[in-house]
Amino acid sequence: MDRRVIAVTGIVQGVGFRPHVHGLATRLRLRGFVKNVEGSVLIEVEGEPSTLDRFLHELRADSPPLARIDAVTWSDRPARGEPSFRIELSEGGDEGQVFISADVATCDDCLDELFDPRDRRYLYPFLNCTNCGPRLTIITAAPYDRERTSMAMFAMCPACRAEYDDPADRRFHAQPTACPACGPRLSLLDGSGNPILGVEPLAVALEALRAGQIAAVKGLGGYHLACLANHGDAVATLRARKHRDEKPFAVMVRDLDRARALGEVRDDEAALLAAPGRPIVLVRKRAAIAVAEGVAPGNPWLGLMLPYTPLHHLLVRGLDEHDLVMTSGNRSDEPIAFDDGDAIDRLRGIADLFLTHDRPIHLRCDDTVTRVVAGVELPVRRSRGEAPRPVRLPLPCLRPTLALGGQLKSTFALGRANHAFLSHHIGDLDHYAAFRAYGEAIAHYRQLFGFEPAVVVRDLHPDYASTRYAEDELGALPTLAVQHHHAHIASCMADNGLDEPVIGVSFDGTGYGPDGTIWGGEFLVASYADFRRAAHLRPARLPGGERAIREPWRMAASWLLDAGLPLDALADSVPPASLGAIERMVAQGLNSPITTSAGRLFDAVAAIAGVRRTVSYEGQAAIEFEWLAAGIEPDGAYPFEVETTTEALVLDPRPTIAAVVDDQSRGRAVAIIARRFHSTMVEAIAAVCARLREATSLDAVALSGGVFLNALLTAEVQARLTADGFRVFRHRQVPPNDGGLCLGQLAIAAGRQKLEGGADVSGGTWPGGRDLSGA
């Protein structure tokens, strides 16, 4: 008889791994124990050597559906003569890596019970099992056991305890397990937060929704604001109360058949919709569907999601064929409400009633948003159902590293060894509430993962809220400031497991450059260790600074002036006095910083073409420009120039601007202008990449930055560069926008440690500039 001590690391806590091990060991007639320790699952097992070998093989080959094994290590010990195999209580205090599971949608077995009148959990809104239910949003500390979750306040009844203690039961050690006799309960509040007693909460909420009212519904990671998707007045009221003028709402549908009735759902999109995380998936909208136009005004795409909690399933089935708008419970740009008292305070005046419950949410977590582009997933927002699942780093962080991300679409990441633990989506740190949530989330992740950072990585921008956080809260730690677009490219590289120099195309709205100007249309020759700005968009003035983001006509005027053209193309909708003021601002450089932003170029051309001169959310003009372009076939491209300077190649779009104005003056359809401009950008990117390949011999291209959420641009750039013989890499696990910055920051910190032979990463900035042209 031999005894083996086995350590299993990865996502192995809270996913039924210990019951799985118990079942495997019992079936093979092995003896010993399994338990959670902080950072892994520990197994001590004894039996005949050949049976132990079989145990190890099956352990690796057949794990529970939600588990992800990262490593299995073992060593021999003398046999003790154990009488049986058992599950022992968890213990903490270990220094190993901690892995926490994301929240998981209700499984099919639980759904069968939910709608089975013979089951004791029939219609119970909080049923779950080892294979599904809340995880990240209820955990207060590691390791994952009931007493360290927000379910600790609910003592199990004898029936639930019997299931929990039975190794053969699906709820064996299912920490959030509950039933109507002992678990959380629904309650109903009126629009002012006062309890409505003596009613069945779900039935009254369904009646209110059918009547066109707005309900605040407490979910896994926070509150949703819900109304009927086909009720135009309810949708309009929700928009007005939430102060969300035009940005699209998501729609929850009963099942995949209903999703296919509303959208042109391809097989790969259906697979994403039905994934355990149940993200919002952008699909092409069908014509003449039973969804109010106000849900996604003018938008050819519709964000759909399937129910992911028992309460959601009860809601959508109770509404028969009606679909639900389900949007984050907040006013525009605030973080999602998750605390009950805060939700009542913030959503009072928006919601007509609150469908809530008494299971506390410990951590807010908004919905994940994703889509499929050219057959590959392209994440838009990575959050519930994904966070905090780690992304593997190609190079290890030799010291625990905290990456703080950027200012917009904020996320942060913990880096330990080869793992990057990315946070849920937090939002734009311009808002104090989001900044406070950011600090609270960092503190919680540090406590949850037992993480004490030795190095901090932040964006180079001196005025970002994340920079202030580094200075005020972490000032004693060595800090590395990383250039924004280098982080974008490093994020794409890490997303694809690359460890080689690349040509990086980083197109976005705003990023602080080492020269103090606003970058955003960048071609970098980059590794994790360093980068060189090899080419960029021609600089232009940004009249009014951030105001130009909300009023794209300002950037249009700037580009028209730079091209030596009159401002006549804007005269139909912009007062002459305003145009004159912009002309003076640009000429004098007054409140008009220099930018190479590709995002602002898209805005400018959209404004010239007449798509819209002002926007209600960032990038709206460019997004609608893409919708128009995607609706027609290619129709040629506009001219552009690539100039050679002593420092870098410069992509000059002034010929493009002149041609756009000419088409506009001739009455060319806006959609044709949009299609030609997109084709122009594809040709321009390919031309610059070809020049850089000739100079560097590099054939790998990484595409990153928020502009590459443009599905048409991304698909056609990928196809064109691939046809030109490049190896093209784009994001698959994290978004190309600023939601993926923290991954790139971690990868850069690891690259610098490797470059310096493992030396400590100390303070100061690291803007790059080392010549990698011969790499």
Task: Give the orientation angle of helix 670-696 with respect to helix 620-630, to 10 degrees.
Answer: 100
What global pTM score does this model have? Answer: 0.93
| Rounded average pLDDT over 114-142 | 95
Q: What SS3 class is residue 24?
A: helix
**pLDDT single digits (tens) 691-731:** 999 999 999 999 999 999 999 999 999 999 999 999 999 99
| Rounded average pLDDT over 446-463 | 95
Compute the mean pLDDT over every residue in the chain, rounded to the nearest whole number.
94
- Per-residue confidence (pLDDT) for residue 114, from 0 to 100: 98
| Residue 40 scores a pLDDT above 90 | no
- Per-residue confidence (pLDDT) for residue 575, from 0 to 100: 93
| Rounded average pLDDT over 97-123 | 93
Distance CA 690, CA 662 (A): 29
Beta strands in 229-364, from DSSP E residues, in sequence order: 250-252, 280-284, 301-305, 324-328, 353-357
DSSP codes joined into one string, 676-738? HHHHHHHHHHHHHHHHHHHHH---EEEEESGGGG-HHHHHHHHHHHHHTT-EEE--SSS-SSG
| Residue 321 scores a pLDDT above 90 | no
- Per-residue confidence (pLDDT) for residue 758, from 0 to 100: 53
| Rounded average pLDDT over 293-300 | 96
Longest dimension (CA), the chain: 92
Distance CA 19, CA 42 (A): 13
The pLDDT confidence band at residue 762, using thresholds 50, 70 and 90, is very low
| Rounded average pLDDT over 495-510 | 97
Closest CA to 46 of 89, 13, 19, 6: 6
- Per-residue confidence (pLDDT) for residue 199, from 0 to 100: 97
**pLDDT single digits (tens) 603-649:** 999 999 999 999 999 899 999 999 999 999 999 999 999 999 999 99
Distance CA 47, CA 53 (A): 10
The pLDDT confidence band at residue 414, using thresholds 50, 70 and 90, is very high
- Per-residue confidence (pLDDT) for residue 256, from 0 to 100: 98
| Rounded average pLDDT over 37-66 | 91
- Which amino acid would we find at residue 725? G
Q: Write the CA distances from 123 to 82, 152, 202, 321, 378, integer angstroms.
A: 43, 23, 10, 19, 36
Per-residue H/E/C for 525-585:
EECCCCEEEEEEECCEECCCCCHHHHCHHHHHHHHHHHCCCCCHHHCCCCCHHHHHHHHHH
- Per-residue confidence (pLDDT) for residue 142, from 0 to 100: 82
| Rounded average pLDDT over 59-69 | 86
The pLDDT confidence band at residue 144, using thresholds 50, 70 and 90, is confident
Distance CA 683, CA 676 (A): 10
Distance CA 131, CA 139 (A): 16
Distance CA 634, CA 657 (A): 18
The pLDDT confidence band at residue 97, using thresholds 50, 70 and 90, is low
- Per-residue confidence (pLDDT) for residue 766, from 0 to 100: 40
The pLDDT confidence band at residue 767, using thresholds 50, 70 and 90, is very low
- Per-residue confidence (pLDDT) for residue 700, from 0 to 100: 98
Closest CA to 252 of 364, 328, 140: 328
Q: In what order do the strands lie in the sheet with 765-766?
A: 413-422, 390-403, 455-459, 479-482, 765-766
- Per-residue confidence (pLDDT) for residue 756, from 0 to 100: 74
| Residue 769 scores a pLDDT above 70 | no
User: CB 733: neighbour CB atoms within 10 A?
Assistant: 19
Question: What's the start-to-end Cα distance of the chain, in Å?
Answer: 56
Which residues are registered as beta bridge partners of 480?
457
Taking 3-state DSSP, the helix, strand and coil percentages for the chain, each rounded to the nearest 5, stand at 35, 25, 40
